[in-house]
Structure 1
Amino acid sequence: MAFEYAPAPESRAIVDLAPSYGLFIDGEFTEAADGTVFKTVSPSTEEVLAEVARAGEADVERAVGAARKAFVKWSALPGAERGKYLFRIARILQERARELAVLESLDNGKPIRETRDIDLPLVAAHFFYYAGWADKLRHAGYGPDPRPLGVAAQIIPWNFPLLMLSWKIAPALATGNTVVLKPAETTPLSALFFADVCRQAGLPRGVVNILTGYGDAGAALVAHPDVDKVAFTGSTEVGRAIAREVAGSAKKVTLELGGKAANIVFDDAPIDQAVEGIVNGIFFNQGHVCCAGSRLLVQESVRDEVLDALKRRMATLRVGDPLDKNTDIGAINSAEQLARITALAEAGEQEGAERWAPPCELPSAGYWFPPTLFTGVTQAHRIAREEIFGPVLSVLTFRTPAEAVEKANNTPYGLSAGIWTEKGSRILSMASKLRAGVVWANTFNKFDPTSPFGGYKESGYGREGGRHGLEGYLSGAAEPVKERGERGGRSERGEGEGGRDR
């Protein structure tokens, strides 16, 4: 008999939302230069949460100027002093974790148990980790006297707003760079609350600047001549545009883009454990995960057993209010994303795949999509080739390890993969052949600040996290710190390090 769960809502009263928010530039909140604003909406209810300033080119100019000015003193601080600020930020994030978890669920739509138990602990952990690196950069392996690059332009997506912020801001500050960050237009609130965390921590003015807005603000930020580093997480399409924009310049670039990960289950895998990993791999955060295990490759001999167990498990997933602690799958982030998921799912049916979803009553307001799987999928189906970025799983089969490798690598992406087997030798053999930046063995979607993350091919290039995450913010040559307008260093001498061809 199935358990009946009484509602267990987290109170939203802990979050004090203002009617409107400005841009965070040079340590102060300010209106956009042209006064333009936009609304941020809760995807679970379509309720307007707040009005937010929309940055334009003039605001980008102000923010980059503030970051350039702040860079002179910030980069000159001893690493141990910079580390103290990062430790302070980490502690404040822990103290305000409940508030930020509720805010993230409101603005993003993901379940509170994910923001509370996964996102916020990892956010604080990244700042703690890079605080420890701040005075040890000479031992990181990037030259005897590694130097900060200057101003970092950072653009983050809507699927993990605070976590992606921490992945980018923490290593940038630890290495002595200053930051102009643009959050996604659908999830600006947690970044603005982080600005308040920076003020609470006493971070010097201009070290972190936050510009809320649309793609035009991000494009202006990437193109700004006084930006030394571009870090982007988002779609492959936008990543290509950024790569074209910075080509031929001295700007250092890291791109973390799309994915179409294969989750490979062999006949000797622990089935119940594998099913939990499959569910976590594709339905965590509504499938809004670039490294989601959206292609399930099952060895033919255990296909029926795995599918039966998977359907039983999917039938227990609870879809609904993100603030309810019982919720497993929250709201789709936006009407636009829901339309894309719906269109690709319909394409799967039209192309002959068999669609299945458990009985699921969806809320009447907001943006929702049930957990869904497709069987009878071939590598030619769009649902097996294109990134859906939603709770949709495509199931394919294989007979031999060689066939599994061939199918797993048959994608323009190369971000992640999963392997389920009891044989350690098979794990090592498969991992060495899979063209993926991260390969999980008998688990999926496990992250740690000490471990690098990134991909190959159309999944981008560069790494975030771990010691490797420092590289994108450092130059090995000792260079004099320049005031704004005195760019006689890397750019004019042509000594900058460009990105490598995720």
Structure 2
Amino acid sequence: MTDLTHADWQARAAVFRPETHHRIDGAAHPGGGAVFTVVSARDGRVLAEVARAGRAEADLAVAAARRAFDTGPWPRLSATERGRMLVRLADLVEAHREELALAISLEMGKPVTEAYAIELRAVANTFRWYGEAADKLVDEAPQTAHDAVALVTREPVGVVAAVVPWNFPLTMAAWKVAPALATGCTVVLKPAEQSPLSALLLGRLADEAGLPPGVFNVIAGEGPEAGRALGLHPDVDVLAFTGSTAVGRHFLRYSADSNLKRVWLELGGKSPNIVLPDAPDLAAAAATAAWGIFFNQGEMCTAPSRLLVHSSVADQVVDAVVARARTLRVGDPLDPATDMGALVSEQHLKNVESHIATALAEGARLRTGGARLDRPGCYLEPTVFDQVTPSHSLARNEVFGPVLAVLTFDTEDEAVALANDTDYGLAAAVWTSDISAAHRISRRIKAGTVWVNCYEEGGLNVPFGGMKQSGHGRDKSLHALDKYTDLKTTWIQL
């Protein structure tokens, strides 16, 4: 944990000079002259005018990645050499941890201490994990007749475009970039237009780490221009996307309309957090429910936004969640004492406010919060609604903000039915002391991850991804490598 004070971070913010050019073919690139404005969620001030990528810049970046893959050294290096460079990049992320944390906090509103202690730790760990795993993979030699040899080898698929969101701008990038690079692919990264500054800095660090030109390119721009250009590009072999379900549909269409590139999607969620009356610690369940929905301002695809609690303990649990929400300090993300920072933009704050207004109109009961703070920036009180029904909009739609919907149940079957009554299937949790119930319920819930008596726990050695309209494919673990490799069979007749 950094020991920088509020005044220290404010002083650094006052002299913050971000990267504003694309990183293409191993160098800064100003683009064609078009720019877009990056506004700080913290106070609404302009952080930078950043080069704006369109089709021309996407073409340049993809061409650089194509050359680097087809004729450059990267895919032909030993896996050990590629791994060493990824570990070197991890070291540079750690060396520039404060600078990166400041960029993330200013551009998207996350408390800087969380950016430093949680996000940047995850980013460095991801590049190091895949760097160390790169030369640990093995190919196959299936048994054949005595007069033949069969080999099954993994080969890098080619050029990967990674389009990532603003809520965890570098974590989501690392989850895609690191395994793609480890396999020998080359990458074009497009960060969200709200949070390009940290990604452009990461691109500079990748060049400093010694990655050959064209191996890792970063272009900044808006989805309908730069994102669409990558989705339709005939020289992109794989597109990996984390973001909304609506945009995920666009990428599938782009694939169909171009070269049928593989598209791996990690989309939204409406995750249920089920509390049974025999939970081992109801106070811990309530505290974790509050932490989960208010961490990162609720801007998290796995956020436990539906608290499903048994009616016999509902009052106790919900009262504890409400009490915890009222103690949270919402404020300047550069203040180490802040618990919850700013939402990413004024438009997103208005979207969250519209969900709150709809919940009130439909008859849900507001227990706490619901109002924006009267200060510059995009701040909202931690918000809890109970008396929510399965038909309410708040129980069905992803809010992506610090807004909790509480529903009650009386039986295990009812809890499972409520949990699965959603288009999404990203994550879920179950709180119980009955190991049999934990297994039964976990198996019945349609979700990519189910936590038992905890939330958001795990490591890089386990996969992350969803079911249903939360997408497909997996980030993290060795399974992520499947997205960026082809299996080749070589049959040798002796």
Q: Distance in 1 between matches of 2:335 and 2:372?
A: 16
Please give the root-mean-square deviation of Cα atoms over the aligned residues, in Å.
Answer: 1.9
Q: Distance in 2 between matches of 1:43 and 1:391?
A: 15
Q: Distance in 1 between matches of 2:478 and 2:208?
A: 28
- Asked if 2 retains the 8 angstrom alpha-carbon contact of 1:320 and 1:363, the reply is no
Matched pairs, number: 472
Q: Distance in 2 between matches of 1:150 and 1:141?
A: 24
Partner of 2:171: 163
Partner of 2:62: 64
Partner of 1:473: 484
> Tell me, what secondary structure is at the counterpart of 1:298?
strand
Partner of 2:134: 134
- Asked if 2 retains the 8 angstrom alpha-carbon contact of 1:105 and 1:115, the reply is yes
1:75 and 2:85 are equivalent in the alignment: no
Match of residue 53, structure 2, among 47, 51, 55: 55
5 Å-filtered alignment, 1:284-295, equals: 284-295=295-306
Partner of 2:251: 242
5 Å-filtered alignment, 1:285-364, equals: 285-358=296-369, 362-364=373-375
Q: Distance in 1 between matches of 2:139 and 2:119?
A: 29
Match of residue 467, structure 2, among 456, 470, 476: 456
- Asked if 1 retains the 8 angstrom alpha-carbon contact of 2:75 and 2:156, the reply is yes
Q: Distance in 2 between matches of 1:377 and 1:88?
A: 50
Match of residue 407, structure 2, among 396, 399, 404: 396
1:190 and 2:198 are equivalent in the alignment: yes
1:202 and 2:210 are equivalent in the alignment: yes
TM-score (norm 1): 0.91
5 Å-filtered alignment, 1:80-91, equals: 80-91=80-91
- Asked if 2 retains the 8 angstrom alpha-carbon contact of 1:253 and 1:472, the reply is no
Partner of 1:31: 30
1:259 and 2:258 are equivalent in the alignment: no
> Tell me, what secondary structure is at the counterpart of 2:313?
helix
Q: Distance in 2 between matches of 1:9 and 1:17?
A: 14
- Asked if 1 retains the 8 angstrom alpha-carbon contact of 2:19 and 2:201, the reply is no
* Deviation larger for 388-397 or 277-286: 277-286
Q: Distance in 1 between matches of 2:18 and 2:163?
A: 25
Residue 296 of structure 1 deviates from its aligned partner by: 0.4
Q: Distance in 2 between matches of 1:164 and 1:19?
A: 20
Q: Distance in 1 between matches of 2:43 and 2:367?
A: 26
Match of residue 236, structure 2, among 218, 224, 227: 227
Q: Distance in 2 between matches of 1:463 and 1:322?
A: 31
Q: Distance in 1 between matches of 2:453 and 2:256?
A: 40
Q: Distance in 2 between matches of 1:354 and 1:156?
A: 35
> Tell me, what secondary structure is at the counterpart of 1:319?
coil
Residue 122 of structure 1 deviates from its aligned partner by: 0.7
Q: Which runs of 5+ in 2 are unaligned?
A: 143-150
- Asked if 2 retains the 8 angstrom alpha-carbon contact of 1:260 and 1:414, the reply is yes
Q: Distance in 1 between matches of 2:471 and 2:183?
A: 23
Q: Distance in 2 between matches of 1:377 and 1:170?
A: 41
Deviations 1:68-93 (A, max 9, x none): 11113211111000001000001111
Q: Which runs of 5+ in 1 are unaligned?
A: 1-6, 480-502
Shift >6 Å, 4+ stretches: 140-143
Q: Distance in 2 between matches of 1:471 and 1:271?
A: 40
Q: Distance in 2 between matches of 1:455 and 1:473?
A: 18
Q: Distance in 2 between matches of 1:28 and 1:354?
A: 54
Q: Distance in 2 between matches of 1:111 and 1:58?
A: 36
Which amino acid in 1 is paired with 2:265? L
Q: Distance in 1 between matches of 2:20 and 2:88?
A: 24
Q: Distance in 2 between matches of 1:440 and 1:140?
A: 34
Residue 51 of structure 1 deviates from its aligned partner by: 1.1
Residue 138 of structure 1 deviates from its aligned partner by: 2.2
TM-score (norm 2): 0.92
Residue 140 of structure 1 deviates from its aligned partner by: 9.6
- Paired-residue identity, %: 47
Q: 1:471 to 1:19 in 2, by over 3 A?
A: closer
Which amino acid in 2 is paired with 1:104? I
